[in-house]
């Protein structure tokens, strides 16, 4: 899975349409291998992004959990700490 695709379920406030679409774009980029498609493939690429956005929104709307909603700032701090541990000792570029 692409590292840039973030978990969007069970946050307060809920994921926005823009966040869902951004994840859909990353997913379609990963599948297609295109960062930006050629003019020839642009329609297919954009259609795929629209469909993935629609299905992802449908999925997020239908998921049920008993867990309390997660805080975005807390999760961001955890991710930053994981990154610091992961790259600790790595040579500076």
Q: Where are the domains of the chain?
A: 11-87
Q: Answer whether residue 18 shows pLDDT above 90.
A: yes
Q: What is the pLDDT of residue 89?
A: 64
Mean pLDDT (whole number) for 63-69: 93
Contact (CB, 8 A) for 54 and 47: no
Radius of gyration of the chain (CA): 16
Q: DSSP alpha helices (H): ranges in 33-71?
A: 39-62
pTM: 0.77
Q: Helix (H) and strand (E) counts for the chain?
A: 3, 2
- Name every residue whose Cβ is closer than 8 Å to that of residue 86 and which is 6 or more positions away in sequence: none
């Amino acid at each position: 899975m692409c590292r840039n695709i973030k978990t969007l379920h069970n946050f307060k406030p809920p994921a926005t349409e823009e966040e869902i679409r951004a994840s859909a774009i990353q997913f379609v980029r990963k599948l297609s291998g295109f960062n930006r498609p050629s003019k020839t493939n642009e329609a297919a690429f954009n259609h795929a992004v629209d469909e993935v956005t629609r299905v992802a929104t449908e999925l997020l709307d239908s998921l049920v959990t008993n867990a309390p909603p997660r805080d975005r700032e807390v999760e961001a701090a955890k991710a930053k700490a994981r990154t610091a541990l992961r790259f600790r000792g790595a040579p500076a570029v």
